[in-house]
């Protein structure tokens, strides 16, 4: 079947472009809601199924792990077969997965259905970002559009804990997955009606070997980190998991460097802003994933908050992540990425250091301040990450470039939950008498270290030398593509 092509993105009216941005942002809304709502519901899920700490980790990480594994494949698939078609397919699968999650009879089944959700989710955000990139071709407009896109993260964070708290408290945790169904259905209808089809001029083959190596790498690494506290860090199973992860990484780099049409074009990483943005994304989203996991357990299990009260408590952080991304996007569009990245790194570091001091009776004023500072940090970080990922790259490869950035985010979130959860489980396992609040301290210090990484790399990737490497990379990828990265 031949797809009917709509107007090229560059020819769309401003009103139509804004409509495309809003529709694409709906996908980020349901994915963001899913993350924050599930975190609020973790203690209730744990009590219902009798889950251990590792079981709760898998409830979160089964989703982000599959998402991270398939994002790049989805990006290249969208470039090949059509971004609109792939986007709609993702909405359908994600909605079906959400319905299945609400029907899960036990912990294992819930984890499996979360993986189904993730298959659909992998076809949403990177493809939507590719649609936005091909719609907003002006660098300044694109940076502002990315700022609006990033603000949706804040909206989902603001709505997710409150909606999740209300649903878990009044109806039960299964209802948290129902919220995705009406939003997903509306997004499907609007996408079919208003978003034009687009694809890369040159179709790329599917890199099956590269995809398999990515899945093995992320799965074995995550398994080793999560299960090590239970099995022992020196146990043969855990050592084997880390050995497989290392071998997969070496194999992936070797294969991708030789493959004619690789899943991951290693030439992208010759651009310091691009490769730096990938590392910053891992660090920033490890901080977010770890924050949501530790803070939810602290507020409900240590402080005894209800799901609704716990959700309301984190509103200061969520409001900052909603208000600040458009401001960050405007700063990126007019003055570059340095200021937002430095603010983000400093704020994330300070907030996590503050939270590393919490106890069972810490005043809410201290928590409130820490949440606000964390929200400032995360509110500033998303727009420069996304802009660096797609600026300086040919629009024909926008799907793959944005998918790599999205993959870095999900890898970070996966590792953040895995690492801080393992530290929490290890601390509780070493001493049955240790207070749960104290057992979170090591995790918060690790997350503070992630903030330092954002701060340092924020300076490095915005230097003149870094910009020159981006220009050289852009010319190598496409000699006619001379856009200067922000």
Q: Got the DSSP string for 157-215?
A: HHHHHHHHHHHHHHT-GGGGGTTHHHHHHHHHHHHHHHPPP---SS-----HHHHHHHH
Query: Distance (Å, rounded) from C-alpha 39 to C-alpha 60?
Result: 8
Mean pLDDT of 342-352: 96
3-state helix, strand, coil in the chain (%, to 5): 80, 0, 20
User: For the chain, what is the total number of helices (H) and then of strands (E)?
Assistant: 18, 0
Predicted TM-score of the model (pTM): 0.83
- Per the structure block, which two tokens stand in for 184? 């997903």
Region of 463 (left: φ > 0; alpha: ψ -120 to 50; beta: rest) is: beta
The per-residue b/e assignment along 437-456, b for 16 or more CB within 10 angstroms, e otherwise, is: bebbbbbbebbbebbebbbb
pLDDT (0 to 100) of residue 16: 73
Q: Which of 129-133, 184-188, 433-437 has the lowest mean pLDDT?
A: 433-437
pLDDT (0 to 100) of residue 105: 93
Specify the higher pLDDT residue, 14 or 434. 14
Query: Distance (Å, rounded) from C-alpha 313 to C-alpha 1?
Result: 52
Q: Which of 179, 79, 173, 70 is nearest to 130 (CA)?
A: 79
Q: Is the pLDDT of residue 76 over 90?
A: no
Specify the higher pLDDT residue, 345 or 1. 345
The per-residue b/e assignment along 37-65, b for 16 or more CB within 10 angstroms, e otherwise, is: bbbbbbbbbbeebebebbbbbbbbbbbbb
Find where tokens 């891992």 sit.
282
Q: Which of 17-21, 175-179, 277-281, 443-447 has the lowest mean pLDDT?
A: 17-21
Which pLDDT tens digit goes with each residue over 281-293?
A: 999 999 999 998 9
Q: Is the pLDDT of residue 431 over 60?
A: no
Task: pLDDT band for 2, please (50, 70, 90 cuts).
Answer: very low
Task: pLDDT band for 374, please (50, 70, 90 cuts).
Answer: very high
CB 197 within 8 A of CB 85: yes
């Amino acid at each position: 079947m031949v797809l009917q092509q709509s107007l090229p993105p560059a020819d769309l009216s401003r009103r139509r472009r804004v409509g495309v941005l809003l529709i694409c942002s709906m996908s980020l809304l349901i994915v963001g809601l899913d993350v924050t709502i599930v975190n609020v519901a973790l203690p209730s899920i744990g009590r219902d199924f009798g889950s251990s700490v590792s079981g709760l980790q898998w409830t979160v990480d089964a989703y982000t792990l599959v998402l991270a594994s398939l994002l790049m494949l989805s990006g290249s698939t969208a470039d090949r077969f059509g971004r609109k078609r792939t986007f709609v397919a993702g909405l359908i699968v994600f909605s079906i997965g959400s319905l299945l999650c609400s029907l899960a009879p036990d912990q294992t089944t819930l984890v499996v259905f979360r993986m189904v959700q993730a298959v659909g989710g992998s076809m949403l955000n990177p493809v939507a970002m590719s649609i936005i990139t091909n719609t907003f071709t002006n660098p300044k407009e694109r940076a502002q559009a990315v700022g609006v896109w990033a603000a949706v993260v804040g909206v989902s964070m603001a709505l997710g804990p409150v909606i999740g708290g209300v649903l878990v408290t009044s109806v039960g945790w299964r209802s948290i997955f129902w919220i995705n169904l009406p939003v997903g259905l509306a997004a499907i209808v609007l996408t079919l009606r208003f978003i034009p089809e687009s694809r890369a001029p040159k179709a790329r083959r599917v890199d099956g070997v590269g995809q398999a190596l990515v899945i093995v790498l992320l799965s074995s690494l995550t398994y080793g980190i999560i299960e090590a506290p239970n099995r022992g860090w020196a146990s043969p199973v855990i050592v084997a998991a880390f050995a497989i992860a290392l071998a997969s990484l070496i194999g992936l780099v070797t294969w991708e460097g030789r493959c004619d049409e690789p899943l991951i074009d290693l030439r992208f990483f010759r651009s310091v802003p691009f490769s730096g943005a990938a590392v910053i994304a891992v660090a920033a989203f490890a901080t977010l994933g770890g924050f949501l996991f530790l803070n939810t357990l602290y507020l409900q299990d240590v402080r005894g908050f209800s799901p609704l009260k716990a959700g309301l408590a984190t509103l200061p952080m969520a409001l900052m992540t909603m208000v600040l991304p458009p401001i960050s996007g405007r700063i990126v569009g007019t003055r570059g990425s340095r200021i937002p990245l430095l603010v983000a790194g400093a704020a994330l570091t300070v907030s996590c250091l503050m939270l590393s001091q919490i106890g069972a009776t810490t005043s809410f004023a201290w928590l409130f301040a820490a949440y606000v500072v964390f929200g400032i940090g995360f509110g500033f970080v998303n727009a420069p990450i996304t802009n660096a990922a797609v600026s300086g790259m040919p629009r024909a490869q926008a799907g793959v470039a944005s998918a790599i950035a999205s993959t870095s985010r999900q890898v970070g979130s996966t590792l953040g939950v895995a690492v801080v959860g393992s530290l929490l489980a290890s601390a509780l396992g070493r001493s049955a008498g240790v207070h749960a609040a104290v057992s979170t301290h090591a995790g918060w210090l690790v997350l503070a270290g992630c903030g330092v990484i954002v701060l340092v790399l924020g300076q490095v990737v915005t230097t003149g030398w870094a910009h020159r490497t981006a220009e050289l990379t852009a010319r190598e990828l496409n000699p006619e593509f001379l856009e200067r990265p922000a």
